Amino acid sequence: MPSRLTAPVTEAQVQAVISDTKMVAGPTRWVSKSNSAWAEADWPIRHELSGLTLRLVATVNVRMPQKHTASILWNDVRVAGVCVQTPHLNKHTDSERFHWEAHEHVWTDLCNGSWCRSVLPAPSSIKEAVEVLCSTFGVTFQAKWSDPLLEFQSGVVTL
């Protein structure tokens, strides 16, 4: 998972990025994360705003594919995301826990990307999580999709 944000980003800037026209295109290439059961795909997000790098990153546990995440990163920091069956504490203004529940992360000035809210229904696959994230945050996904589980089973992705 990407490191915590250290650069100054405001909720207004994140909202400007979300409302901007964005697109992902090109092939999907899954790579194994070092010494783990997780595979990751990373696409650059094309946009009109200057001076910032946006990426869409998807991760899936190839041994337990019901565990997956999709995130929009601004200069390597998550500003929006969807997590499925990846439990953690809501670090915003409350201590609500998301025990194996689907939830969405949204950057706010108070919590720097840690605020969560439930997503229903839960995306059932990594592809659906990417689609939900893109739909929710205005990213047109035109990349050629490849299934990480099929790539793992065929030996394209090795652990």
Residue 80 lies in a domain: yes
Higher-confidence residue of 24 and 115: namely 24
Residue 114 lies in a domain: yes
Round the CA-based radius of gyration of the chain to a whole number and report it: 15
Q: Which amino acid is at 26?
A: G
CB-CB contact of 31 with 40 (8 Å): yes
Specify the number of domains making up the chain.
1
Give the integer Cα–Cα distance in Å for 28 and 54.
Answer: 16
Per-chain mean pLDDT for the chain: 81
- In the block, tokens 């696409």 appear at 43
CB-CB contact of 52 with 88 (8 Å): no
Residue 57 is predicted with a pLDDT of 96
Residue 5 lies in a domain: no
What does residue 57 show for φ and ψ, rounded to 5 degrees?
A: -125, 130
Residue 18 lies in a domain: yes
Question: pLDDT for 62-78, tens place per residue?
Answer: 989 998 999 998 888 88
Residue 33 lies in a domain: yes
Residue 3 lies in a domain: no
Higher-confidence residue of 157 and 41: namely 41
Residue 153 lies in a domain: no
pLDDT band (50, 70, 90) for residue 41 = very high
Residue 155 lies in a domain: no
Q: Which domain holds residue 65?
A: 11-146
Q: What is the mean pLDDT of residues 12-25?
A: 87
- In the block, tokens 């809210």 appear at 117
